[in-house]
Structure 1
């Protein structure tokens, strides 16, 4: 690990892995079984760097990737950063107005996309007041496409040929560790998306801490079924294996039907999922029938709080331990992790800080003692540079002495394990008493017919707010209001018992699987 930790940027990381691991497989494509070696990754990175340089791009220019999962998007994301450019993975779930905003605000000069998403991209680019070049390619390819000096696509205004720059300008050797490598936009459910700026040092710091926390090495392989346009998959399942010399299996998307088969066929040693996937796997009747999971070391859960009932049910059914973690886009993914040792983990906790400092802060800015609830704040080498072109919101996100304000409410116990009870904006205030929505969620999820649950506060003339719960029932289960109320009274008592239940086909979630609770209060819900 000593040599690895001295690496300063993505180009140096790719170079080092190619020298050490050579022809060993780095990435396998689940649908085809094709493999990309560490040496081939370096060769494709070098090809793209030279091509981008010849097309006229300058160090620090922004390049976007608007594609679903596949070998090529993974190569492009790494290679663009290794070329001294800033990569912008675009969320495929973006609404048209959000897509226009991201393309405009990011100052992107070039977008890699595929035929499937070209129509929506072309429509958005017509509303962008700056010409943007477009290259259409296939996600399942393992070779970077040629980038013309002025790439043009029918119906899309391509950028004019930029002045050519001297050979060698896009060189990995010139990239400083604190230079921006990534602009990733948040989902923007409470306003316009924010462009989180992360440096090479931020990304490598978390790849290092994740590798160390889970004791990962060259023998380890992870299944990638989460979208690469989210920070979890990008850092934890793509950059981290590259960091410790392991490998990954690239799946186009999550499918409960094929998940365990792919995990076993490619002999993955760990899986990286979100609570929604855990719920779907629990709801799948076939489960692991006919599949041997003995090669798996652990299941890593991230991006949202995992209900203890689902945690215990998953471990009991599949015989696979869950390591619950938590992170933010602003911290390049992981900031907390439970221990690798099963007996040391705490169900319901996001774990201890990993590679960062964490504390609980009160409304007056003072640190709180163990057991006291307040806002979780963070400091460390993984914390973002700031929000792109947004100094006001950047300043608002940090305390005067440099702690990142996460907006998550929680507490830590006497042993340093942290617990998240909700978001500060999501607290239910009933009759002047603060009620954590997660407490309600977890109680409702104990009912055997409930697959997912989300509590929110809704207006009440006397109490200010009352508790409503949005439910997704298990397959074939019928909702019985009287039975559900009896269950909640027994678990929560009368004061915290929900007064309203709403049935849903699915709960609103972001690309990471994180519950977007406040969207339940929108009229469309």
Structure 2
């Protein structure tokens, strides 16, 4: 497999569906033409091979085509989440010096854009006021999704050789001053795509249901790139929303999906809130796959029993492109049930703190799928690799007799919340810029739905600064998933002789505070239930409560997604000391219905 063979395959299967969205479909003939027109636009903007391109748009079609065109033309795409805060984007721009940005028109007033020589603007409206437009309109035919004024004289992409040259950068975490960019080479990509394609039988007949975030490695690689590499179909369904769970799951059968790929957190929500057991019963649905984080053995077994099909669990990091170890009974090379699997097409070993072989210790990996290093961070790159070239994962594992590995925990302080990686240092740095915060230390706390969530302890110079003020400050400077669940003011942070925080002691202290009943419940008499529901909703959804109305819903509030819906239900149950039935929780469509539900249960 290389980019030349992939391109030939796209032409061969030009009538195959490439991208199936709720609003439109693109086939590979459409994709080819869009790529050819876009790379011609690269020439007009003098975007050369190895130039960096920032992709920052809510328009998934534009983001997908922009990423593929860049990759196949030898340009280095940098996919960011659409809600990446201004300061973080500015820091990434300063670090990578991109030659082009593909961006929503709503962000054109941000000052960092002035540093970028060229831009392609994604317009929300159906009007086309500018020349260099690249926009997807829901009301136009597939080929009009590229906009009316893309170049008519076109060329094909350069199709670079598969080697150790940089293919893309994925900024997964890191402080706002020094974002952590994972550098993936073309050889890394092809190695990982070949393994996944072989293990899971991906070909031109495959239809991949993958609705994960495009700026997440598993949404990007096991969605966009896996489909493209095999001339397969990628099914996107508008993102997981608990309020629309039944329709979302029903699309698996409606679109005749062969592969269903999602994270353990979503599998947990399916287990809790799905009403039926037949979503994956069709004969064409061959592979149920869990990625991005550990699938707990109890949940794994429960899902397999319920749906009557095997589930594969994959282990990997952004630094391994996607996965490196595989478990399940789809293929003889995979590891056993309950483990994180066996290494496939790469090597794995365990080393203890004395750097010798052991049955329990840090998992280390080696192979063609292992990343190049961290963008402009030679120190961290050196620390990540051993002297003999193995990558330290930071994960504590135990070897099994069949060659599988079981994960015991993490050696690093990284927080994995719902499959998304969060570096607590990034949260600390943001809060320390608030004038009232003297100290800030973030730790992970257990959570029944997201596995872990960040909670931050602060020491304040002004005790009048309350938690709501600090949470609002965090929301304005961090992506939604990185905002701490709670920010707790302490008289002091427990520290050792060298000044380092004692994380275990801090976590225990915070757990004790959070467990107090007064933090979660109030007396039910003489209360404004509607007002409290609105205030809690505003906090969970990161929105001004004055903007909320009874008809506010996931359709009108951008931050009201599947994760925040679950968080909203949990917050209501905790605050009011009630239990909202699963069926009722899944059927709540707007804020008015939520208020009614809470009032009824309080009676």
Normalising by structure 1, we get a TM-score of 0.72
Task: Please name the residue that 2:557 is paired with.
Answer: none
Task: Please name the residue that 1:411 is paired with.
Answer: 398
Q: Is the 8 A contact 1:338 1:345 kept in 2?
A: yes
When residues 341 and 407 of structure 1 are mapped into structure 2, their CA distance, relative to the original with a 3 A threshold, is same
Task: Please name the residue that 1:324 is paired with.
Answer: 313
CA positional deviation for 1:480: 12
Q: Alpha carbon RMSD of aligned pairs, Å? A: 3.6
Secondary structure of the corresponding residue to residue 185 of structure 1: strand
Q: 1:399 aligns with which of 386, 389, 413?
A: 386
CA positional deviation for 1:21: 1.5
Task: Please name the residue that 2:568 is paired with.
Answer: none
Give the distance between the partners of 1:268 and 1:326, measured in 2 at CA: 23
When residues 176 and 322 of structure 1 are mapped into structure 2, their CA distance, relative to the original with a 3 A threshold, is closer
Residue 278 (structure 1) aligned with residue 267 (structure 2): yes
Q: 2:168 aligns with which of 182, 205, 220?
A: 182
Give the distance between the partners of 1:279 and 1:287, measured in 2 at CA: 14
Task: Please name the residue that 2:200 is paired with.
Answer: 214
Secondary structure of the corresponding residue to residue 172 of structure 1: coil
Give the distance between the partners of 1:46 and 1:395, measured in 2 at CA: 39
CA positional deviation for 1:63: 0.8
Q: Is the 8 A contact 2:237 2:248 kept in 1?
A: no
Secondary structure of the corresponding residue to residue 292 of structure 2: coil
The structure that is helix-richer by fraction is: 2
Task: Please name the residue that 1:383 is paired with.
Answer: 370
Task: Please name the residue that 1:195 is paired with.
Answer: 181
Which residues in structure 2 correspond to 1:105-504 (within 5 Å)? 105-115=95-105, 118-119=106-107, 122-123=109-110, 125=112, 133-137=119-123, 138=135, 142=142, 143-145=145-147, 171-175=157-161, 177-188=163-174, 192-256=178-242, 257=245, 258-288=247-277, 292-341=281-330, 346-368=336-358, 372-426=359-413, 451=449, 453-454=451-452, 465=504
CA positional deviation for 1:469: 11
Give the distance between the partners of 1:380 and 1:145, measured in 2 at CA: 42
Q: 2:37 aligns with which of 39, 47, 61?
A: 47
Q: Is the 8 A contact 1:323 1:345 kept in 2?
A: no
When residues 129 and 410 of structure 1 are mapped into structure 2, their CA distance, relative to the original with a 3 A threshold, is same
Q: 1:56 aligns with which of 40, 46, 59?
A: 46
Q: Decide which moves more: 306-315 or 224-233.
A: 306-315
Q: Is the 8 A contact 1:63 1:111 kept in 2?
A: yes
When residues 132 and 245 of structure 1 are mapped into structure 2, their CA distance, relative to the original with a 3 A threshold, is closer
CA positional deviation for 1:252: 2.6
Give the distance between the partners of 2:412 and 2:453, measured in 1 at CA: 13
Deviations, residues 225-256 of structure 1 (Å, cap 9, x unaligned): 10111111111122112223321112231234
Which residues in structure 2 correspond to 1:60-79 (within 5 Å)? 60-68=50-58, 70-79=60-69
Q: Is the 8 A contact 2:88 2:176 kept in 1?
A: no
CA positional deviation for 1:390: 1.9
Q: Is the 8 A contact 1:408 1:420 kept in 2?
A: yes
CA positional deviation for 1:408: 1.4
When residues 427 and 460 of structure 1 are mapped into structure 2, their CA distance, relative to the original with a 3 A threshold, is farther
Secondary structure of the corresponding residue to residue 167 of structure 2: strand
Q: Is the 8 A contact 1:111 1:133 kept in 2?
A: yes
When residues 148 and 389 of structure 1 are mapped into structure 2, their CA distance, relative to the original with a 3 A threshold, is farther
CA positional deviation for 1:180: 1.2
Give the distance between the partners of 1:377 and 1:406, measured in 2 at CA: 6
CA positional deviation for 1:332: 0.7
CA positional deviation for 1:330: 1.0
Give the distance between the partners of 1:322 and 1:113, measured in 2 at CA: 37
Secondary structure of the corresponding residue to residue 400 of structure 1: coil
Task: Please name the residue that 2:19 is paired with.
Answer: 27
Q: Which residues of structure 2 form unaligned runs of 5+?
A: 124-134, 416-445, 458-492, 497-501, 518-538, 542-560, 564-603
Secondary structure of the corresponding residue to residue 316 of structure 2: strand
Normalising by structure 2, we get a TM-score of 0.63
